[in-house]
Amino acid sequence: MAVPRETTPSTAFLRSHVPRRHPSAAVLGEERMGAAVAVDAQHVLTAHYLVMGASRIQLAGADGRPRDVRRFRVDHETGLALLAVEGPPLRPARLRAEREVSPGEPIFLLTCTSKGERKGATGHVCMVGPFEAFWEYMLDRAIMTTAINPGLAGAPLFDSEGLLLGIVSLSLAAVGRYSLAIPIDLYLARRDRLEAEAPDPSRPARAWTGIYPQAYDGGVVLTGVVPGGPGDKAGLARGDLILSVDGQAVASLRELYAALWKRAASESISLQVLRDGAIRVVEVAAGDRDEFYR
């Protein structure tokens, strides 16, 4: 498949610097590098964890010229981040918003391996469907592909016409599924919110408990908790088997998250857990993830 040349100028390289004291630094590191794609002349889109907590972000377009990052907004629900940049205008990618992504479609991703080098990979969409991860993250429609990412995360995923389908967020270990992309539809649905100078105070934050759950033998077990997070403060611990949320039985990550997200930040959530052969109820004061990782 020929890669349309028009896609290369829309890609960008970014490097972020995160203070050691930030809650994400212990897991994600203090220096992070990634790719991004211009969605208009002054905004680029990337994976949120690349810039979460950053005190300084360096961004260079495909032309090698640096751009100052004026502001950035992280969206934990989608896993995207939008950066507002100043300097020479970027050449934006063309967004695909009207046609559904279908399994079997040819795709390619274009990413950075360093500030001055771009690499691509081709493949096909192998699945469009639900995805859950262990950091209280869930998508109803994620794009899984057979393309192996040859470089950094945050890479744009294009169709055969050079239209932007999504942002490559993760590498997958499943056979035949090598990368996961966040659909561009999610960005378009939240574009106004991401471009706003300040968060909307009237929008309630979704409940966040700061736990790392994993599906295990027909149930959900905790593999850890975020230090200083709501679950940690409430006394949840690694090895706890979660049986129910507010009296609602849960047996999968999807069921767990759906039950948790019925609540808002600052509300109390009752988790019934099995620990050391005994059932106990742990009351968790749900937190605001945006505030915790600001």
Give 265-293 pLDDT, tens digit per residue: 999 999 999 999 999 999 999 999 999 99
Do residue 226 and residue 288 come from a single domain? yes
How far is the C-alpha of 266 from the C-alpha of 285, rounded, in Å? 6
Instruction: Give residue 218's region: left, alpha or beta (phi > 0; psi -120 to 50).
Output: left
Read off the CATH number of the domain in which 277 is found: 2.30.42.10
How far is the C-alpha of 288 from the C-alpha of 267, rounded, in Å? 10
For residue 25, is it within any domain?
yes
Give 126-171 pLDDT, tens digit per residue: 999 999 999 999 999 999 999 999 999 999 999 999 999 999 999 8
Boundaries of domain holding 58: 5-92
Do residue 234 and residue 260 come from a single domain? yes
| Residue 251 main-chain phi, psi, to 5 deg | -130, 5
The pLDDT value given to residue 4: 64
Q: What is the mean pLDDT of residues 30-53?
A: 98
Listed in sequence order, the DSSP H helices in the chain are 25-28, 184-189, 191-195, 230-234, 253-260, 289-292
Domains held by the chain: number: 3
The pLDDT value given to residue 198: 73
Read off the CATH number of the domain in which 51 is found: 2.40.10.10
The pLDDT value given to residue 78: 97
Do residue 102 and residue 181 come from a single domain? yes
For residue 44, is it within any domain?
yes
Q: How many other C-beta atoms lie within 10 A of the C-beta of residue 260?
A: 23
Give 250-267 pLDDT, tens digit per residue: 999 999 999 999 999 999
Q: Which residues contact 174 (CB under 8 A, 6 or more apart)?
A: none
How far is the C-alpha of 220 from the C-alpha of 273, rounded, in Å? 10
pLDDT tier, 124 (very low <50, low <70, confident <90, very high otherwise): very high
Do residue 106 and residue 44 come from a single domain? no
For residue 197, is it within any domain?
no
Q: What is the mean pLDDT of residues 85-100?
A: 93
Do residue 170 and residue 220 come from a single domain? no
What string of DSSP letters covers 155-197? -EEEETTSEEEEEEEEE--STT--EEEEEHHHHHHTHHHHHSS
